A and B are shown apart, each in its own frame.
Chain A
Amino acid sequence: MASSLAERRAGRLFVSPTVLTLLVLGAFPLLFILAAAFTDSSLGKPFKEFTGADNLATVLGNADVVASLSRTVGYAVGTTAASVVLGVVVATAVHQAVRSGAVVRTLLLLPLIVPPVVVGTLFKLIFNPAGGLLATVLGFVGIPAPAPLSDPGLALGAVMVADIWEWTPLVFILVFAALLGQDPSITEAARMDGAHGWKLFAAVTLPAIAGTIAAAAFIRLVLALKVFDLVYIMTAGGPGQSTTTTSYLIHQVALKEFDIGRASAITLLLAVVVTLVTLPAAGLAARLRRKEEATA
């Protein structure tokens, strides 16, 4: 599309707020973090003195930091896998079982709009060993009340349950829209050829929506890597360090210890890890999307 000079000039002006945003939210924080990571910095007085790689060496040698990074990645991969499987299954089921799905869809989407702080509160109530929903229901069948949020082996899983409850509806609605957008004549043709049930789904439906599933999985992964609110409300990182994700650890170091230099060094590591995890996922999603378009 050839743009005139006037259009190019107006276009530059139109994108300037977007560019400004990228500078303030992207470039500025990264440069700030980079500068703070290599200096002795506190919240009140950043960049006091250049300290080289001291901060990075300290945090890389800290077992808690390294453990929090692998915990964050494990958490994100686990919640993403669960959300994607559940989201696809529910979307397919709603597509098969309900004619228009308007009411069902409205109800299934409710968790998406509940503030994460409320989601955390809600699951804290559910998991409360003294009279919570889980303990009460298990009590009916005679199983002793578990205390998921104060058991180091269960706490992270309990936070994941809340996260999965909150964000699976996003996967559901994206996949459901893709299912509705399918060309019905292709499915009909496959059915005429004798394909039905699981075979029809695996051979015709799944390839047609694979790109959407990959994109939804990517978005879900990014959201899971950001987890902070649920940890803050449900466990405050405990018991011990068992639910201390890296975002929560940075919050602790920055606001409880006021050590911005060390917090920035951890932030830098988190940014690197998030990039390493999301880039291959983004590439895979883009490849599947292109394939989906080629077959469509």
Chain B
Amino acid sequence: MKTLELDRGAPPATVAVTGGAGGPGTSPDAPGAPRRRRGRPAWAVTVVVLALAATLVPLAYLLSVSLMGRDETVSGILFTTSPRFSNWADVVVGTDLPRSIANSVVAALGGAALSLAFGLPGAWAIVRYRSGGRGLAGLVTSPWLLPPIVAVVPLFTLLRILGLNDTLLGLTLVYALLNVPIAVWLLEGFVRKLPPDVFEAAALDGAGPWRTLGLVVVPLMVPALVAVGTITAILNYNEFLLATFITQSPESQTAPVALSLFYGDRTPHFGKIAAASVMVIVPVFAVATFLQRWMVDGLTSGVGK
């Protein structure tokens, strides 16, 4: 896979493989091309419909249950005729959920920003100056390969020594480090696609490594930073294992942890659990709707390099 300018909104000349979302017409789909005339195979349409159903029915069901009363959730109905929006209010008003969502947003964005700040110079130096040699380039992703449970107790101990245990700052720092390998890995793909003559021109103008990084690389990498930042922020927002170890008190709890505690009751109210789940999803869905093009770009860049 060589060309990966998927939907970046780049000038038409470079949009060779645009998959949609407002991109100009792609060459295989040009009018009169043989591909168009062949029509849509029935098997493919069937698979697409089934895939959409498998994806969307569970999400619709979650929304439906979130509007049910306690008895309705166990009565074998698919949707209620008298929706209870009070479920939504009940899980938001007077609970720890809104604060936990705010905590998640702070840790997610703070962690992602730090990961980018740590990762971009690294990705650039690894590609451009071969800093660290093949060893570093090969080792970068290694912490990501092991299950995070491996790092939980050591990080827990480290944070306790630093006095950052059970704080949002501690969790944010852990998230920042946790995603540096992913950020470097994905950003490398983008750095490789930067036109090399820009750097030669900058060097001829007498720009040193610092000025080149700040004034040439960073501006050119803005779409990549948005892409990788979105991915790491969502990974942070969704993270559960480390959050449940590191943040115990309601002041520092994140949304996934708060949600896991909804099962504490002896007879859980499924309607309210579903309502809380819907509340937790809303911020990610909102972000993803706006930034999906960049997210897809970021995901495909790392594997495609």
Chain A residues within 8 Å of B, Cβ to Cβ: 1, 3, 6-8, 10-15, 17-19, 21-22, 24-26, 28-30, 32-33, 36, 43, 46, 86, 89-90, 92-94, 96-111, 113-118, 121-123, 125-126, 128, 130-131, 133, 135-137, 139, 165, 169-170, 173-174, 176-178, 180-181, 184, 188, 191, 209, 211-212, 215-216, 219, 222, 225-226, 228-229, 232-233, 246-247, 250-251, 254-255, 260, 263-264, 267, 270-271, 274-275, 278, 296
A178–B1 contact, CB under 8 A? yes
State the CA gap A11–B143 with chains docked (Å): 22
Q: In the bound complex, do residue B41 and residue A228 qualify as a contact, i.e. CB atoms below 8 Å apart?
A: no
**How many A-B contacts at CB < 8 Å in the complex?**
329
Q: How long is the Cα–Cα vector from A222 to B7 in the complex, in angstroms?
A: 28
Q: Known A43-B153, A271-B150; judge A114-B6 contact (CB<8 A).
A: no
Q: With A15-B121, A25-B178, A254-B153 given, is the CB distance from A191 to B284 under 8 Å?
A: no
Task: Name 10 extra pairs, CB < 8 A, besides A10-B125, A101-B19.
Answer: A11-B131, A15-B125, A18-B118, A97-B40, A100-B29, A109-B296, A115-B280, A131-B72, A177-B296, A181-B17
Between-chain CB contacts (< 8 Å), 13 pairs: A15-B125, A21-B181, A29-B150, A97-B41, A100-B23, A108-B52, A109-B292, A113-B234, A117-B280, A122-B62, A215-B303, A254-B153, A255-B245
Contact: A33 with B1, CB < 8 Å?
A: no
- Docked-complex contact A18 and B180, CB < 8 angstroms: yes
Nearest-CB distance from B134 to chain A (Å)? Answer: 13
Q: Is the CB of B48 within 8 A of A94?
A: yes
A115 touches B284 (CB 8 A): yes
A17 touches B19 (CB 8 A): no
Q: In the complex, what residues of A have CB within 8 A of residue B47's CB?
A: 89-90, 93, 97
Assembly CA distance A130 to B72 (angstroms) = 10
B77 at the interface (CB under 8 A from A): yes
B284 touches A18 (CB 8 A): no
Does residue B285 face the partner (Cβ distance < 8 Å to A)? yes
- Bound form: Cα–Cα A13–B117 in Å: 13
The one of A15, A86, A184, A254 in contact with B152, judged by C-beta atoms closer than 8 angstroms, is A254
B2 touches A181 (CB 8 A): yes
User: Which chain B positions have C-beta within 8 A of A102?
Assistant: 7, 19-22
Residues of B within 8 A of A (CB): 1-4, 6-7, 17-23, 26-29, 34-35, 40-41, 43-48, 51-52, 54-59, 61-62, 65, 72-78, 117-119, 121-122, 124-126, 128-132, 136, 139-140, 142-158, 177-178, 180-181, 184, 208-210, 213, 234, 237-238, 240-241, 245, 255-256, 259-260, 263, 270, 273-274, 277, 280-281, 284-285, 288-289, 292, 295-296, 299-300, 303-304
Q: Are B17 and A250 in contact (CB under 8 A)?
A: no
Contact across chains for B2 and A296 when beta carbons are under 8 A apart: yes
User: Which residues on the A side are within 8 Å of B75 (C-beta)?
Assistant: 131
How far, in whole Å, are A33 and B281 apart by their CA atoms in the complex?
35
Residue of B nearest to A103 (CB): B20
Contact of A15 with B281 in the complex, beta carbons under 8 Å: no
- Name the A residues within 8 Å of B259 (CB-CB): 115, 117-118, 121
State the Cβ distance, A177 to closest chain B Cβ, in Å: 4
Q: Which residues of A contact B280 (CB under 8 A)?
A: 115, 117-118
* Minimum CB distance partner of A250 in chain B: B149
Question: Given that A32-B157, A110-B55, A251-B149 are known contacts, is A136 also in contact with B76, CB under 8 Å in the complex?
Answer: yes
Out of A29, A100, A126, A212, which one reaches B21, CB within 8 Å? A100
Question: In whole Å, how far is A273's beta carbon from the nearest beta carbon of chain B?
Answer: 10
Contact A96 B23 (CB under 8 A): no
Minimum C-beta distance from A185 to chain B (A): 9
CB <8 Å contact, B300 and A25: no
Which residues from chain B contact A114 at a C-beta distance below 8 Å?
Answer: 59, 238, 281, 284
Would A271 and B146 be within 8 Å (CB), given that A8-B129, A121-B273, A176-B19 are in contact? yes
Can you name the residue of chain A whose Cβ is closest to the Cβ of B277?
A118
Q: Assess whether A225 is in contact with B6, with CB atoms less than 8 Å apart.
A: no
B132→A115 contact, CB < 8 A: no
**In the complex, what distance in Å separates the CA atom of A28 from the CA atom of B75?**
52
How far is A109 from B299 in the complex, measured between Cα atoms in Å? 12
Q: How far is the CB of B224 from chain A (nearest CB, A)?
A: 16
- Pick the 8 closest A-B CB pairs, nearest first: A100-B20, A102-B20, A11-B131, A10-B209, A11-B129, A18-B122, A93-B47, A14-B121
CB of A15 within 8 A of CB of B240, answer: no
Report A178 CB to chain B, min CB distance, Å. Answer: 5
What is the CA–CA distance of A121 and B59 in the complex, to the nearest angstrom?
11
- Residues in B with CB closer than 8 Å to A209 are 1
A274: chain B residues within 8 A (beta carbon): 145-147
Q: A108-B55, A125-B65, A225-B147 are in contact. Are A36 and B153 (CB under 8 A)?
A: yes
Given the known inter-chain contacts A15-B125, A108-B55, A177-B19, please indicate yes or no for A126 contacting B61, CB distance below 8 A: yes
CB distance from B192 to the nearest CB of A (A): 13
Across-interface contacts of A260 in B (CB, < 8 A): 153
- Output the nearest chain A residue to B180 by Cβ-Cβ distance: A21
- State in angstroms the CA–CA spacing of A43 and B172 once bound together: 22
